[in-house]
Amino acid sequence: MFMMRFDMRAPEFGGSTTDLYKAAIDMAEWAETRGCMAAVISEHHTSSDGYIPSPLLLASAMAARTNQLHISIAAARYQAARVARVRGLDAAAVQSLIDAHAHTRLLGFLGEPRVNVLELNLALDALEPHNAPPGA
């Protein structure tokens, strides 16, 4: 078992940000097949050299491409209102599904409570959508 940490620093002399993000997602997918338990993504604000301003989008992309790498419950809850709006669902129903698909700490004390994004997305897909607002 191991974990990976992504700083996502993108100085001018390195590859493009697009290539960096694609490589990070590919690495997470590869690492899962070799026993990776977690991917930690650093957060940096207003950095001039391309540091990641918010790790949520990258974490969600990694989690969507893997079966076992999860996002934190806090990250899932932070995105719940937007997910509900885009999918045309009731926000309380989305929050309820997040809670239903939450996993506790390993052995009760290792790691952080987390949500399996694949399982959550499948459950969201099974809900009957309401009329999503145009352009949501």
Number of domain units in the chain = 2
What letter does residue 2 receive in the DSSP assignment? Answer: E
Mean pLDDT computed over every residue of the chain: 82
65 in the same domain as 5: yes
Q: What is the pLDDT of residues 89-134, one digit of tens each?
A: 999 999 999 999 988 877 777 777 888 888 888 899 898 775 555 5
Which of 69, 85, 102 is the last residue before a domain boundary? 69
| CA nearest neighbour of 12 among 51, 54, 44, 57 | 51
Which of 44, 69, 94 is the last residue before a domain boundary? 69
Query: Would you state the structure tokens that stand for residue 125, as one six-digit string?
Result: 């897909």
User: Which domain covers residue 56, as residue numbers?
Assistant: 1-69
Which of 40-68 are b and which e, b meaning 16 or more Cβ less than 10 Å from the residue's Cβ?
ebeeeeeeeebbbeebbebbbbbbeebee
77 in the same domain as 33: no
Query: What is the predicted pLDDT for the residue at 96?
Result: 94
16 in the same domain as 29: yes
